[in-house]
Structure 1
Amino acid sequence: MDDRINNAPCGYIAMTHEGFIQEVNHTFLMELGYPLIDVLDKHIESFMSTANKLIFHSYFYPFIHLNGHVDELFISLKDCSGNSIPYLLNGRRLERDGVEVFDCILMQMGRRVDYEHELRAAKHQMEEAYKEKETALAKLVTLHAEIEKKQAELLEMNALLLEMSHTDKLTGLKNRRYFQEALDGLIQGYPVDHQPFSLFILDIDHFKRVNDTYGHQIGDDVLERLGSILKSQARKEDIAARYGGEEFVLLLPQVDRDESTEMAENLRHIVACSIWETASITVSIGIATYTQDDTSTSLLKKADKALYLSKEMGRNRVTHAMDLT
């Protein structure tokens, strides 16, 4: 497991679709106080109370099978001493080596719950202070300042949780969900502003060969490095995201057909000329530019067909969907 994931400031587990834990990071083990041997191959529900098992069954399994992800599930797990530890869970269904697994991150919510209790207590005290005479004004000012501080801390924690739910943990890019929401937003705004926009779908050429030859750790390093290249080449208004596996997407507001092709060729060249741990890495790119007849589905299909042609023509190529007609 990558050291950054292993020591991330939140718990991480990977489990089978039946719920048996296959991987777990050091942070999660430290928070619950279990040794690794007591967690691996154990069912996730063995760490839950009966009430939490019912919550998990009625929410987690139906939603992740229906939508492919679960967001912000409030669940409690038992630590090694039997204490209940509250968590906020985000999960995603994916296939790894042909086997369906669930990747989950767990943000411990103890501090947040404490903040909310403190906020309620402080507000109650403030209401009582309003009933006092002028001698209570100084106390009222102090309590108000404490509330503002706690609210600011709570907002900061919520912002962190929201960012984590929108971010791919390996590459640091936005995830597919965030990209889809941004694409839908541009399409909805087009009738008003009539601003052109384009999108790329990038696929690493012969990525399976990289994993088979150098191992999955080097494969992950390649994905992470390509993510860094995309971030460095994207403009402030662009959205770079990991679409799935070795596929990446780049959403380019206010970019038409000609400019998008030029930008894609530049990106393709930078990747091909970069120094990699493997012999070489190249990408094939498919481009689509939005027209008023498009939907998000049709636009992605156009880009995907263009990507397919880039691969058919020998890879390490750029193809625009408009060149297919």
Structure 2
Amino acid sequence: MDILLNEAPCGYFSITDKGLIQSVNQTLLRMLGYDREELLERHIESTMSVANKMFFHTYFYPYIQLYGQVNEMYLSFRTKDGKDLPVLLNGIRRDRDGKAVIECVALEMRKRIEHEKDIMKTKQQLEALCQETNEANHRLELLHAQYEKKQQKLLDLNEKLETLASTDPLTGLRNRRYFQEQLQKYMELFEQSGEIFSLCIIDIDRFKAINDTYGHPVGDLVLTRLAQLLQEQSYGDTVVARFGGEEFVILLPGLNQEQVLAAAERYRSATETTPLGDLRITISIGAATCSPEDTELSLLQQADQALYISKHNGRNRVTHYNAG
């Protein structure tokens, strides 16, 4: 045998059509642990386990007969000391000197198998990790959805609480706190841009007599109906609020003295001509319009003084502070 073939980095052997070993290189002998004389003229299947013999007999020979060659057949030889040696086997059938010979090359597969096992193990670990990640992401998405839902509930609750904090529970109008916040906002806007606004203070005439005569439930009904009427007569950014007791306040952005008097007269007239249940009531109104010298407190005091004049002059009338 050629020295290069004898020491080739892969196992080599040749067999007859009946499977008898005719030649074997030194590399395969070292792989199997045999001496050359121990293998020559032995059947190749004698170096295999029963399962591999059946596999070799069932597939190798038919392929060689049909196609003249076998490529990358995976099987195991058995070494002299009884261990399995996994190999990748290639074979080709040739005619030499009128006799058929099958030449085979065997590549040891231990390291590749171990590598494939490592790859498979790593793949399984990655798949498990990917599954865990997907499950964690799904749980995170659920938690995020729950968080957003609870956050929205909290925002809704805060909005409701803010509304309750700025709403008069009896009439449903804005309360004194909200009115004062809006008055401060419009006063600051007037100082910055000169955008004028006016306000009215409204008082129900002889309201104590209504409570004394008909009782507080009827008095509460009158307050509620009047609040509804004032809202119906208001437009745009007008702020209608209950100031306390039988007093109401109205902020009218953009209205000057003449315009606020017209708006106040509309409120007064509508109240006088609209029955509130079985009762008819009248209201007195004091109005004031902001000026550069005014503060929030001074503007309220002006409207209150104008209201006093309306009351003093016979009630059911409108008075502007600057015309009082």
TM-score bucket (shorter structure): 0.5 to 0.7
TM-score, length-scaled by structure 1 = 0.58
Q: Deviations over 1:13-43 (max 9, x none)?
A: xxxxxxxxxxxxxxxxxxxxxxxxxxxxxxx
- C-alpha distance in 2, partners of 1:248/1:278? 22
TM-score, length-scaled by structure 2 = 0.58
Alignment of 1:1-325 (within 5 A): 133-324=133-324
- C-alpha distance in 2, partners of 1:315/1:181? 29
Q: Is the 8 A contact 1:201 1:250 kept in 2?
A: yes
Q: Is the 8 A contact 1:198 1:255 kept in 2?
A: yes
- Code of the residue aligned with 1:171 in structure 2: it is T
Structure 2's unaligned 5+ residue stretches are: 1-131
Q: Deviations over 1:268-293 (max 9, x none)?
A: 00000001235420000000000011
- Code of the residue aligned with 1:254 in structure 2: it is G
Q: CA deviation at 1:192?
A: 1.9
- C-alpha distance in 2, partners of 1:308/1:227? 21
Q: Deviations over 1:185-240 (max 9, x none)?
A: 11112122211100000000000111111111110000000110111112231111
- C-alpha distance in 2, partners of 1:274/1:213? 20
| Higher CA-based Rg | 2
Runs of 4+ with >6 A deviation: none
- C-alpha distance in 1, partners of 2:198/2:158? 32
Q: Deviations over 1:74-114 (max 9, x none)?
A: xxxxxxxxxxxxxxxxxxxxxxxxxxxxxxxxxxxxxxxxx
**Paired residues, number:** 193
- C-alpha distance in 2, partners of 1:135/1:175? 51
Structure 1's unaligned 5+ residue stretches are: 1-131
Identity of aligned residues (%): 47
- Code of the residue aligned with 1:167 in structure 2: it is T
Q: Is the 8 A contact 2:233 2:266 kept in 1?
A: no
Q: Is the 8 A contact 1:214 1:278 kept in 2?
A: no
- Code of the residue aligned with 2:149 in structure 1: it is K
SS in 1 for 2:195: coil
SS in 2 for 1:146: helix
Q: Is the 8 A contact 2:226 2:276 kept in 1?
A: no
- Code of the residue aligned with 1:312 in structure 2: it is H
Q: Is the 8 A contact 2:287 2:307 kept in 1?
A: yes
- C-alpha distance in 2, partners of 1:172/1:248? 12
